[in-house]
Amino acid sequence: MTRRIALVSDARGYVGPDLSRLLASDGHDLVIGDPADGLVDDLTARGAAVEAVEGVRDLSNPESTERLVHAALERFGRIDSATAFTGRIVVGRFLRSTLDDMRAATVGCIEAPYNFLRSVVPVMAEQGAGQVLVFTSAAGARPTPGAPLYSSARAGANMLVRNVAAEVADKGVQVNAIGTNFMDFPEFLKASRAEDAEGRARVEAQVPMGRLGTLDELAHFSMAFVDGTSRFATGQFVAFAGGWA
């Protein structure tokens, strides 16, 4: 059986390395952006053919997504699933915000997924099949005190996913979003001032489940959207936030 081809835009941080390992173990060959040290060897040992593309973490640069797609088509000739990690956390109260703050949120949270979708979706529509997963934020599902611009921009990204999904549903292409919050990774801990025990406890108290989510959990949750086993869900936004959204 021909191995599926999965594109993971950022294999250096967040859930990218964990998801890449699961995909490799599940019979996928991979195109990965900016892999973490040792990851290519790990994926190869799991049986995957791997094409690594450097310098593409910033998806707000259209050239990043174009290079990822070009690498996939040059090496493997198709893309069966594609996963993007986007967003720039912009915090602070609305009454203290500036237009530059709003533009920063928009570039990171809307332009970046737009670029990714614009590069990947036409390829899959031409193929007549494909799965796209965009990681957004659960903050886009509800008002978020302390991050109103970020929340608003993430809501825009979630609606973008839904609109694109509706446009290409009849072409066999699935487009879905997972919105996270309260995840245990360095960038979130820093942005939430939760790097020490006291700060972590304060943040965990905001989560109905009383703890932060792990990247391993998120990787496993994501698989159904990209591994080819579930082909009848599209245009969905699913929160992964411990009951917060």
Task: Return the SS3 of 58.
Answer: coil
Q: What is the DSSP letter of 94?
A: G
Bridge partners, residue 6, by sequence: 30, 81
What confidence score (pLDDT) does residue 120 get? 98
Spell out the domain ranges in the chain.
4-240
CATH code that applies to domain 4-240: 3.40.50.720
> For residues 89 and 188, what is the distance between their CA atoms, to the nearest angstrom?
9
Nearest to 239 by CA among 134, 137, 113: 137
Neighbouring residues of 222: CB distance < 8 A, sequence distance ≥ 6: 15, 19, 83, 133, 178
> For residues 116 and 86, what is the distance between their CA atoms, to the nearest angstrom?
9
**Strand 130-137 relative to strand 173-180: parallel, antiparallel, unpaired?**
parallel
The number of beta carbons lying within 10 Å of the beta carbon of residue 204 is 16
Angle formed by the axes of helices 99-106 and 148-168, to 10°?
A: 30
Nearest to 31 by CA among 3, 58, 7: 7
The number of beta carbons lying within 10 Å of the beta carbon of residue 208 is 10
What confidence score (pLDDT) does residue 1 get? 52
β strands within 45-180, DSSP E: 50-53, 81-85, 130-137, 173-180
The number of beta carbons lying within 10 Å of the beta carbon of residue 119 is 23
Q: What is the DSSP letter of 224?
A: G
Burial grade of 214 (CB within 10 A; 0-12, 13-18, 19 or more): middle
pTM of the model: 0.94
- Taking only the tens of pLDDT, the chain with its 245 residues reads 589 999 999 999 999 999 999 999 999 999 999 999 999 999 999 999 999 999 999 999 999 999 999 999 999 999 999 999 988 888 889 999 999 999 999 999 999 999 999 999 999 999 999 999 999 999 999 999 889 999 999 999 999 999 999 999 999 999 999 999 999 998 888 878 899 999 999 999 999 999 999 999 999 999 999 999 999 999 999 999 999 99
The answer to whether residues 168 and 126 touch, using CB atoms and an 8 Å cutoff, is no
What confidence score (pLDDT) does residue 2 get? 83
